[in-house]
Amino acid sequence: MSIIPYSKQSISADDIQAVKRVLKSDFLTQGPKVPEFERALARYFGTKYAICCSSGTAALHLAYSSLGASPSSIAIVPAITFAATANAFRYLGSDVIFCDVVPETGHICIHHLEKILSSIPKLKNDQKGFIAPVSFAGAIAPLERCNQLASRYNFQVIEDASHAVGAWTHNENGKKKVYAGACIHTQASCLSFHPVKHVCCGEGGAVLTNSTETANTARKLRSHGIERPFDDEHDTPWYYQQVDLGWNYRMTDLQAALGMSQLSRIEDSLKSRKEMARRYIELLSVERFSGSILLPVFNEGHAWHLFIIRFCRAGMRNRAYKYLKSKHIHTQVHYIPVYKHPYYQTMHRDLQLSGSEDYFESCLSIPMYSGLTLKQQNRVIAELDNFLAVEK
């Protein structure tokens, strides 16, 4: 029987053509396709700027450093995320404080965030503070609430929107739709174009922002910190200078062409994920699953990057993972609380956040991607059913 992965990229004939055209062109690394993709991203997310780079991790690193993160900074990161959300602050020497999450959603817990902000020393004059909420699994994080707290304590908000292309919610007065990545309540948002994400570039990422200064700094740091101050009319148009210490985080035109082609199909992909989520919820919310499995809440603005179920009894998640694997259905745990990793244990040895631990012990991401067929989805549900029969 064929393996059903928990996630998988979808590559069309058009995607292949788009990459082939670049291979035959004059530009392989950053050429005309990158700014074209950047304009398309800025249009899609409704931001002034999009700065493409080599990965989602690079995007976080660029965004944090462009907004001034340094060894004197304090960065608050939800404990349930991919480690890169925290790691990119560590690259810059900033102190990371882990915030608990709401176990039902995996989102940063506003009450705990407020507790952290009110208990740490007030920021000194030149000190910067950051909050990096993650729009988790395809549902937009409570960005407006984060921003309200951030402004009170002089922090900046950077959204990790890697999971949330196409996600939206209504703002607090219920009047306006706010999209993930749109930078309405944040100074910047970051995207990843890793193959399991909504838009795949192989590897790739982008910083979204409405700030000209942040965009310019991110662009400069993406390519070594080099500036070209003169245009073609000048005596020395070849002149460039390195004004800052940056990196080579450029995206290639191959990646940008693939990303453009993928982005043009995003509505179809979001629609099929939404239908799949609706179907999972419908078929799993029957009597025989209740009391064993908790389901995510369906809402229209969910982008369904992951479909995460939670098991009600201790140890069940680990047994389900093994059982499904033996039936060639691959699932995944998103995520181990970041502070539990040995690297972070050296700094956070005694940390235990109850919401994050609860969530982590029970969660399992079951297959969700735009190429998943009805038949495959039925197989996942049938095997979950069989697993519960074994458990009883």
Ligand X SMILES: *Cc1c(COP(=O)(O)O)cnc(C)c1O
Which among 49-57, 210-218, 336-344, 361-369 is the span making contact with ligand X, rule CB under 6 A?
49-57
Q: Which residue in the set 129, 166, 205, 337 belongs to the binding site for ligand X (CB under 6 A)? A: 205
Q: How far is the CB of 6 from ligand X (least distance, A)?
A: 13
Q: Which of residues 117-156 bind ligand X (CB under 6 A)?
A: 134
Q: Which residue in the set 33, 194, 219, 379 belongs to the binding site for ligand X (CB under 6 A)? A: 194
d(CA 293, CA 363): 10
81 binds ligand X (CB under 6 A): yes
Q: How far is the CB of 196 from ligand X (least distance, A)?
A: 7
Q: How far is the CB of 56 from ligand X (least distance, A)?
A: 2
Q: How far is the CB of 171 from ligand X (least distance, A)?
A: 23
Residue nearest to ligand X (CB): 56
57 binds ligand X (CB under 6 A): yes
Q: How far is the CB of 160 from ligand X (least distance, A)?
A: 5
d(CA 96, CA 338): 11
107 binds ligand X (CB under 6 A): no
82 binds ligand X (CB under 6 A): yes
d(CA 377, CA 301): 22
d(CA 204, CA 201): 6
Q: Which of residues 18-47 bind ligand X (CB under 6 A)?
A: none
Which among 12-20, 82-90, 143-151, 273-281 is the span making contact with ligand X, rule CB under 6 A?
82-90
Instruction: Rank residues 183 and 388 by Cβ distance to ligand X and give the closer one.
Output: 183
192 binds ligand X (CB under 6 A): yes
Q: How far is the CB of 203 from ligand X (least distance, A)?
A: 6
Q: Is 306 exposed, middle or buried (0-12, 13-18, 19+ CB in 10 A)?
A: buried
Q: Residue 249 corresponds to which tokens in the numbers above?
A: 């985080």
d(CA 51, CA 140): 21
Instruction: Rank residues 30 and 57 by Cβ distance to ligand X and give the closer one.
Output: 57
d(CA 154, CA 128): 8
Q: How far is the CB of 335 from ligand X (least distance, A)?
A: 8
Q: How far is the CB of 28 from ligand X (least distance, A)?
A: 20
Instruction: Rank residues 30 and 192 by Cβ distance to ligand X and give the closer one.
Output: 192
d(CA 315, CA 307): 20
d(CA 115, CA 112): 5
Q: Residue 61 corresponds to which tokens in the numbers above?
A: 């690193």
7 binds ligand X (CB under 6 A): no
Q: Which residue in the set 34, 84, 164, 366 belongs to the binding site for ligand X (CB under 6 A)? A: 84
> Roughly how many angstroms between the first and final C-alpha of the chain, as a whole number?
26
Q: Given CA atoms 14, 15, 18, 23 in this order, what sign does their dihedral have?
A: negative
Size of the site for ligand X (CB under 6 A): 14
Q: How far is the CB of 20 from ligand X (least distance, A)?
A: 24
Q: Which residue in the set 160, 208, 360, 367 belongs to the binding site for ligand X (CB under 6 A)? A: 160
Q: How far is the CB of 366 from ligand X (least distance, A)?
A: 17
Q: Which residue in the set 9, 47, 66, 85 belongs to the binding site for ligand X (CB under 6 A)? A: 85
For 269-275, the CB contacts below 8 A with 24+ separation are 269/10, 269/198, 269/370, 270/165, 270/166, 270/198, 270/303, 270/304, 272/370, 273/138, 273/303, 273/304, 273/305, 273/368, 273/369, 273/370, 274/302, 274/304
In this structure, are residues 203 and 210 in contact, taking their beta carbons and an 8 Å threshold? no
Which among 67-75, 76-84, 89-97, 278-286 is the span making contact with ligand X, rule CB under 6 A?
76-84
162 binds ligand X (CB under 6 A): yes
List interacting residues with ligand X (CB under 6 A): 55-57, 81-82, 84-85, 134, 160, 162-163, 192, 194, 205
